[in-house]
């Protein structure tokens, strides 16, 4: 199919107007292209994800009159497979174990980093071989070796969202400076980082167009690098603007006042919600 997209909420709270915007936009774009609209539950956070929230999400989506295609894909059903796939980077020399805390990382950085979305890891544990892995260690990607393994100075991806439309170039040197050696496996349970699980799923669900909020734009380069490392196809991305409250703050799960459930209880209609988010 030429156009396959998805809505991928985390069942950790009620859907709000921002989620409705994302789901309606993805659904409508799929239907306009004669494509498929899939539903994925990003429930790898086993503590915060609850079946009650998933049930409410399904209800809200059905009430919004958005019909998803095929069965729901639940990430919690695939954790073993994600971990097994992640481990294959070890023998390729692209992973190393890391026991640094946030405090260690801050202390090792000589100057504050500006203009990067997260602390770029200074490489303290980079010399450690995988054979030195201890329980509780995180697994980090050696980003320099990743580009070397890809034999690429730069990677590209296509974006169609209004704020960043065009072809984006991920330069190896810039990726080292701004992304760095990211954690791909979480401490403790060794569960893959959610941006990696999400990228695996986009490939496994044969997603051709990732439609999601602009807050996730900064994850895209690392997801593209990972997809390329695993030899998986890179979709086209479309990051949409976020719905904000009257003060201009983006909506969060705790903004129960704008929960779809609340609007439903107050007698709103699906068409009314479409009007509220500007997609009528």
Residue nearest ligand GLU by beta-carbon distance: 212
Interface characters, 95-124, with ligand GLU (x: CB under 6 A): ------------------------------
Q: Is 13 in the site for ligand GLU (CB under 6 A)?
A: no
Length of the chain: 280
Q: From the CB of residue 70, how many other CB atoms can be counted at a distance below 10 Å?
A: 11
Interface characters, 147-186, with ligand GLU (x: CB under 6 A): ----------------------------------------
Instruction: Provide the CA 17 distance to its chain's centre, in angstroms.
Output: 19
Instruction: Provide the CA 112 distance to its chain's centre, in angstroms.
Output: 26
Looking at the Cβ atoms of 145 and 250, the one nearer to ligand GLU is 250
Q: Is 2 helix (H, G, I), strand (E, B) or coil?
A: coil
Residues with Cβ within 8 Å of 256's Cβ and at least 6 positions away in sequence, in order, are: 14, 262
Q: Is 245 helix (H, G, I), strand (E, B) or coil?
A: coil
Interface characters, 16-55, with ligand GLU (x: CB under 6 A): --------------------------x-------------
Name the phi and psi angles at 213, rounded to 5: -70, 155
Q: For 274-277, which contacts have Cβ atoms below 8 Å and span 24 or more sequence positions?
A: 274/24, 276/17, 277/17, 277/20, 277/21, 277/24, 277/243
Map the footprint of ligand GLU across residues 202-231, applying CB under 6 A.
Answer: 212, 216
Looking at the Cβ atoms of 76 and 99, the one nearer to ligand GLU is 76
Report DSSP letters for 34-54, one per residue: T-EEEEEE----TTT--HHHH
Looking at the Cβ atoms of 39 and 172, the one nearer to ligand GLU is 39
Rule CB under 6 A: choose which of 4, 8, 23, 191 binds ligand GLU. 8
* Nearest distance in Å: CB 130, ligand GLU: 28
Rule CB under 6 A: choose which of 5, 198, 208, 220 binds ligand GLU. 198
Residues that bind ligand GLU (CB under 6 A): 8-10, 42, 198, 212, 216
């Amino acid at each position: 199919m030429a156009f396959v997209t998805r809505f991928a909420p985390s069942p950790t709270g009620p859907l709000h107007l921002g989620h409705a915007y994302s789901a309606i936009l993805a659904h409508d774009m799929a239907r306009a292209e004669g494509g498929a609209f899939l539903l994925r539950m990003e429930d790898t956070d086993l503590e915060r994800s609850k079946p009650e929230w998933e049930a409410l999400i399904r209800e809200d989506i059905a009430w919004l009159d958005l019909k998803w295609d095929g069965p729901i894909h639940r990430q919690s059903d695939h954790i073993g497979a994600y971990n097994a796939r992640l481990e294959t980077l070890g023998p390729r020399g692209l992973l190393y174990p890391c026991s640094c805390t946030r405090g260690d990382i801050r202390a090792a950085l000589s100057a504050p980093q500006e203009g990067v979305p997260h602390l770029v890891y200074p490489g303290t544990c980079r010399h450690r071989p995988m054979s030195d892995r201890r329980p509780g260690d995180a697994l980090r990607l050696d980003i320099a070796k990743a580009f070397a393994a890809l034999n690429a100075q730069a990677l590209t991806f296509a974006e169609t969202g209004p704020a960043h439309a065009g072809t984006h170039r991920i330069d190896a040197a810039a990726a080292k400076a701004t992304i760095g050696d990211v954690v791909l496996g979480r401490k403790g349970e060794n569960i893959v980082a959610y941006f990696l699980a999400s990228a695996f799923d986009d490939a496994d669900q044969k997603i051709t167009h990732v439609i999601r909020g602009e807050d996730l734009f900064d994850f895209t380069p690392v997801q593209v690098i990972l997809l390329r490392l695993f030899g998986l196809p890179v979709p086209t991305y479309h990051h949409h603007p976020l719905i904000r409250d009257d003060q201009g703050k983006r909506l969060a799960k705790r903004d129960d006042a704008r929960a779809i459930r609340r609007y439903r209880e107050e007698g709103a209609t699906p068409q009314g919600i479409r009007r509220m988010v500007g997609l009528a």
